[in-house]
Amino acid sequence: MPDLALAAGTARALGELAEIEAERRAMLNVSLLTLSRYCHVARMGSIRRAAREIGIGQPQLSRQISAFEHEINRALFIRNSDGVDLTPAGQQVLALAEVLEEVWKRLTKSAARQFRRTVSTCHLGSVIPLGYESNTARSLARLSARWLEQRPEAPLFISSTTADELMRGLQGGSYDVALLDTEAIPESYERRTISHSRLSVVGPRTLIEKSGGDIANLVLTRPIAVPSLKSGLRQKADALFAEKLGEPERAAMRLVEVDSLPIIVNLVIEQGFVAVLPEAAFLTMAAPIGSIPLEARFSLTLSLVWPPTAAASRHAGRILELLPSAE
């Protein structure tokens, strides 16, 4: 902003040097290229030498300088056999043009640096981690630390949302790659398994102990807190319910959909709900939570997924170098 303000003030001062009507001054049209070439001629003291150094024809550069003088209706050079000398107006224009030239260099350098940063940034989408102890949270933290250490010139941007939003982001190009906990991945996409998380049916400890491990009776007699259908965890929970219960029994279940682990855990501890959660989400808690571990086929799989494009494959390869797959 300071550079833009300086450029605007300098451009106004340059316009005020023009000996033309106020209406025309407001429409003054002089390109930065013309000003840069004018500065070059003024420093070289010769249109011929400046043209040779710039790499254009002398007649072309001479016409460009003459057009500039005509535009502002001021003589900027005194032509002689040895070259050119600046007029008093030419010296004023040179001082202003050099300010604009320096401002432009700073602006374009900053823009180029930001462009390189934007182009080189890897956009990684992830399902929302189920607590800081979860495989997702640990994997992302490990990846972030190693990426910064080994690839500081190519930033890694991570954002978390639902599996549905991640798939839309991959299809629309908002994400280069994504960490997904769902099995519903189009066959056209590449994928690598990063980790497996064992799941358990959880509830208040006394309730779980009294159930004797009878999951079917437990989920029919107690309200159940589950994530929305957008999550891979919910898909695993639905597969469990489908195996343990018939269709009429599943229709009778009392479900509350909550896409927040803290709320689900609070419903379990304070309200007597049951839930299906990864072990890492509750094993370290001091709260009185009981659990019934599920078979390995119900484990939650975290996969790195990317579309079959060269850029996405390159980003995925870099991530897998730092975050080896579990396959």
CA-CA distance, 138 to 148, in Å (whole number)?
Answer: 16
CA-CA distance, 77 to 68, in Å (whole number)?
Answer: 11
pLDDT in tens, 23-56: 777 778 888 889 999 999 999 999 999 999 888 9
* Phi, psi of 30, rounded to the nearest 5 degrees: -125, 125
The reply to whether domains 2-118 and 199-298 share a CATH topology is: no
The domain spans of the chain are: 2-118, 121-190+305-322, 199-298
Residues 6+ away with beta carbon under 8 Å from 305: 170, 177, 178, 179, 180, 185, 189, 190, 191
Report the DSSP beta bridge partners of residue 255: 224
DSSP H or E segment with residue 250: helix 247-252
Say if CB 20 and CB 29 are below 8 A apart.
no
Confidence of residue 324 (pLDDT cuts 50, 70, 90): confident
CA-CA distance, 33 to 276, in Å (whole number)?
Answer: 66
CA-CA distance, 68 to 60, in Å (whole number)?
Answer: 13
Q: State yes or no: pLDDT of 112 exceeds 70.
A: no
Farthest CA pair distance, the chain: 108
**Residue 120's pLDDT is what?**
60
The amino acid at residue 87 is T
pLDDT in tens, 16-32: 888 888 777 777 888 88
CA-CA distance, 175 to 180, in Å (whole number)?
Answer: 12
pLDDT in tens, 160-171: 888 888 888 888
CATH for 121-190+305-322 (3.40.228.10, 3.40.190.10, 3.30.70.260, 3.40.50.2300): 3.40.190.10
Mode of pairing for the β-strands spanning 156-161 and 122-127: parallel
In the β-sheet with 300-306, what is the strand arrangement from edge to edge? 156-161, 122-127, 177-180, 300-306, 190-197
Which carries the bigger pLDDT value, residue 36 or residue 283?
36
In the β-sheet with 199-204, what is the strand arrangement from edge to edge? 255-257, 224-226, 274-278, 199-204, 289-293
Which of 215, 202, 182 shows the shortest CA–CA distance to 277? 202
pTM, two decimals, is: 0.58
Which carries the bigger pLDDT value, residue 118 or residue 88?
88
What architecture does CATH give domain 2-118? Orthogonal Bundle (1.10)
**Residue 115's pLDDT is what?**
52
Angle at 229 between CA 226 and CA 235, to 5 degrees: 80
pLDDT in tens, 177-229: 999 888 778 889 999 998 888 999 999 999 999 999 999 999 999 999 998 88
CATH for 199-298 (3.20.20.70, 1.10.3210.10, 3.40.190.10, 3.40.50.700): 3.40.190.10
Q: How far is CA 178 from CA 157, 168, 203, 224, in A?
A: 11, 11, 31, 29
Q: Two tokens at 306?
A: 């990317």
**Residue 78's pLDDT is what?**
92
Which carries the bigger pLDDT value, residue 33 or residue 132?
33
**Residue 243's pLDDT is what?**
93
* Phi, psi of 243, rounded to the nearest 5 degrees: -75, -35
